[in-house]
Amino acid sequence: MIFLEYLLIALMVFAALLAVIFEEELISIICLSIFSFALTALYLLYKAPDVALTEAVIGSGLNTAIFMAAISQVRSGRKNHVSREDE
């Protein structure tokens, strides 16, 4: 079991490094999702199932959706600075 613990910590450090290195934002978001998955397995190994469920739902599901929505907003605003005044 001690080997599995070290393997998960190494995977977390590797995913965090990849999220910093890449320039493309979508790859960075997917790397953060992998980081959350490894952290969920580590919480389950330390016998804390409540915290593991919270981390799985929020870290892998909700953060990805909200980050992708925010990045699409920023890109569409950067392309065309249209000051429209409808309504």
Partner 1 sequence: MKNSIVILLLILLSALLIFSFDFIPEQEIVVDSTAEHIITKGLQETGSLNLVTAILYDYRAFDSMGESTVIFATVSAIVLLLSFKTLPVSSQGLSFIVKNTFGFLAPFIFLFGLYVITHGHLSPGGGFQGGVILGTISIILSIVYGSAYDYRKYPPKTKTLLETGGALLFLFIGGLGLVLKGHFLANVNPLINEPGRLISAGVIPYINIGIGFKIGAGLAIIFYSMIQKTYVEEELKS
Point out which residues bind partner 1 (CB under 8 A): 49-50, 52-54, 57-58, 61-62, 65-66, 69-70, 72-73, 76, 80, 82, 84
* CB 15, CB 31: distance < 8 Å: yes
**Given the complex with partner 1, which of 10 and 65 has the nearer CB atom?**
65
Q: In whole angstroms, how close is the CB of 55 to partner 1 at the nearest point? A: 10
Q: In whole angstroms, how close is the CB of 62 to partner 1 at the nearest point? A: 6
**Given the complex with partner 1, which of 7 and 70 has the nearer CB atom?**
70
Q: In whole angstroms, how close is the CB of 65 to partner 1 at the nearest point? A: 5
Q: How many other C-beta atoms can be found within 10 angstroms of the C-beta atom of residue 61?
A: 12
Helices 2-21 and 25-45: crossing angle in degrees, nearest 10, is 160
**Given the complex with partner 1, which of 28 and 64 has the nearer CB atom?**
64
CB environment 63-86: b (16+ within 10 A), e (fewer): ebeebeeeeeeeeeeeeeeeeeee
